[in-house]
Amino acid sequence: MNHNMTFFGESVLCIGAHPDDIELGCGALIADIVDQTNVICVTLSDNQEDPLLKNLVEEFNDSMSILGVKPENAILHDFTTRRFQAARQEILEVMVGLKKQYHPEVVLVHTAQDIHQDHKTITEEALRAFRGTTVLGFDVLRSSYGFFPDFLVEVSEEAVKTKIQALKAYKTYADKYYFDESIIHATAIRHGALAERPYAEGFDILRIVGQFGNKVY
């Protein structure tokens, strides 16, 4: 019996609420697959309404570059942080536009266990916008309660190191506990242990769409 399941998408769309969310949630996976498929990373708030966060746009672009994401595929919007619920329809329309433009086969968003109001809005609207598409939820550690991954994706040690380097681009957040290198590394090891692999990133299954077929030799 083959204990490995391989999934593939010619276009993988990652959607996060704020700069750093995507990298925290699935940065190692991005680093592993970016040379194999078209990875698009869309962050809906640039946090520029806060003068203390003025460097985040540059840091986001630097972080995406370290992960290997093409500049044209690292996209920032300017929705106001903590006000996503009031802009729910506009966010839905952005996602519908992304679906039409990129036709993603896999969409990665925030876990359903995330209690941050912006994160919850993204996940709810993604499930509306991407009907008929596989949607997986990533964890950003600081704002989810009860998260336990039921979809584990093996990643390489090199990809974990790249994720850590990408997060170091966020000098604005250098003092945040969840940016600690040991925590990022330990989380990858823990998810790997759950999968009986050296390293993995964990997701919850929001929707899986596929078909069962014969093994291809």
pLDDT interval class at 11 (50, 70, 90) = very high
44 confidence band (pLDDT: 50, 70, 90): very high
Look up residue 145 and give its two tokens.
Answer: 């309660």
The pLDDT assigned to 183 comes to: 96
Q: Residue 215 — pLDDT band, cuts 50, 70, 90?
A: low
Distance CA 210, CA 134 (A): 8
199, 156 contact by CB (below 8 A)? yes
Rounded CA-CA distance 182/129 in Å is 36
Average pLDDT over residues 197-217: 85
Whether 126 and 95 have beta carbons less than 8 Å apart is answered as yes
What does the pLDDT look like over 45-60, one tens digit per residue?
998 878 778 899 999 9
Cα dihedral sign, 49-53-55-57: negative
Give residue 141's region: left, alpha or beta (phi > 0; psi -120 to 50): left
DSSP string covering 131-163: TTSEEEEE--SSSBSS---SEEEE--HHHHHHH
Taking the C-alpha atoms of residue 162 and residue 157, their distance in angstroms, rounded to an integer, is: 9
Distance between CA atoms of residues 4 and 13, nearest Å? 23
For residue 11, the cross-strand partners are 38
Give the tokens for residue 26.
Answer: 């699935």
Does the pLDDT value for residue 217 go beyond 50?
no
* Record: fold of 11-207: Rossmann fold (3.40.50)
pLDDT, tens only, 111-153: 999 999 999 999 999 999 999 999 999 999 889 888 999 999 9
Higher pLDDT, 51 or 27: 27
pLDDT band at 179 (very low <50, low <70, confident <90, very high): very high
Per-residue pLDDT tens digits for 61-117: 999 999 999 999 999 999 999 999 999 999 999 999 999 999 999 999 999 999 999
Q: Which residue has the tokens 């941050």?
A: 116
Which pLDDT value is given to residue 49? 78
What pLDDT score was predicted for residue 216? 54
Tokens representing 195? Answer: 């999968």
